[in-house]
Chains A and B, each alone.
Chain A
Amino acid sequence: EDKVVQSPLSLVVHEGDTVTLNCSYEVTNFRSLLWYKQEKKAPTFLFMLTSSGIEKKSGRLSSILDKKELFSILNITATQTGDSAVYLCQVAGANSKLTFGKGITLSVRP
């Protein structure tokens, strides 16, 4: 059975801090890993990663994949209160089977 484990499950930081969110996986025939941000109900897309070692960047957010050690990290620098959300990791495996982790709840305090 495919597994996606995110850590920590929750964290609280202050504005301006840098955070690192982790996603490790065990899937058959890995195809891609996606990060989403879920603020109220609808998850919104952040990054799609398919190749090891290539950093994807969007503003203060960046992400990288390690296919040898089977994990990805999502970094957020200079956090703002608007970054408070649940961050979801999703992995596509064999036959494009899609599995989400439980999510990481990030709270950014002013």
Chain B
Amino acid sequence: GAGVSQTPSNKVTEKGKYVELRCDPISGHTALYWYRQSLGQGPEFLIYFQGTGAADDSGLPNDRFFAVRPEGSVSTLKIQRTERGDSAVYLCASSTDRENIQYFGAGTRLSVL
């Protein structure tokens, strides 16, 4: 596609439920990033993929968060046993490699009630 696509744009769930957020990067971009942005804050790094592998997952806050990119293109961020504190906008970005300009999707706004 022309840009980074994230679905859904909004997700409302109940505390304790499981959610999946999807990111479809720009075609040909090997690097893919997930960030979490809370109100009034800058994006907080979660995980970075180079190809299919998670090259850096140091930003994942705990083991309830997991992300995959099985074919080196689309990525899914998975959150188990959601908590109210997980409510935020989850941004995905892609680039040609880690040191280049990132192109961001419009994000998924997650609300945990």
In the complex, whether B56 has a CB less than 8 A from a CB of chain A is yes
Interface residue total, chain A, C-beta cutoff 8 A: 25
* A42 B91 Cβ-Cβ under 8 A: yes
Q: Using CB atoms, name the residue of chain A closest to B109.
A: A41
Main secondary structure of the interface of B (DSSP, over half): loop
Residues 15-60 of B contacting A (Cβ, < 8 Å): 33, 35, 40-45, 48, 56, 58
List, in ascending order, chain A residues with CB within 8 A of B58's CB: 97
CB-CB under 8 A for A98 and B101, given A42-B106, A42-B107: no
Give CA–CA (A68, B6) in the complex, Å.
39
List, in ascending order, chain A residues with CB within 8 A of B48's CB: 98
In the complex, whether B71 has a CB less than 8 A from a CB of chain A is no
Give CA–CA (A48, B98) in the complex, Å.
13
* B99 A92 Cβ-Cβ under 8 A: yes
List, in ascending order, chain A residues with CB within 8 A of B43's CB: 43, 88, 100
Residues 95-113 of B contacting A (Cβ, < 8 Å): 98-99, 101-107
In the complex, whether B89 has a CB less than 8 A from a CB of chain A is yes
* A32 B107 Cβ-Cβ under 8 A: no
Give CA–CA (A44, B105) in the complex, Å.
10
List, in ascending order, chain A residues with CB within 8 A of B89's CB: 41
List, in ascending order, chain A residues with CB within 8 A of B56's CB: 95, 97
Give CA–CA (A27, B74) in the complex, Å.
31
Q: List 27 contacting pairs A-B, 8 Å CB cutoff, sorted by A.
A: A4-B42, A34-B102, A41-B89, A41-B106, A41-B107, A42-B104, A42-B106, A42-B107, A43-B43, A43-B91, A43-B93, A43-B104, A45-B101, A45-B102, A88-B43, A90-B42, A96-B98, A97-B56, A97-B58, A98-B48, A99-B45, A100-B35, A100-B42, A100-B43, A100-B45, A102-B41, A103-B42
Which B residues contact A (CB, under 8 angstroms)? 4, 33, 35, 40-45, 48, 56, 58, 89, 91, 93, 98-99, 101-107
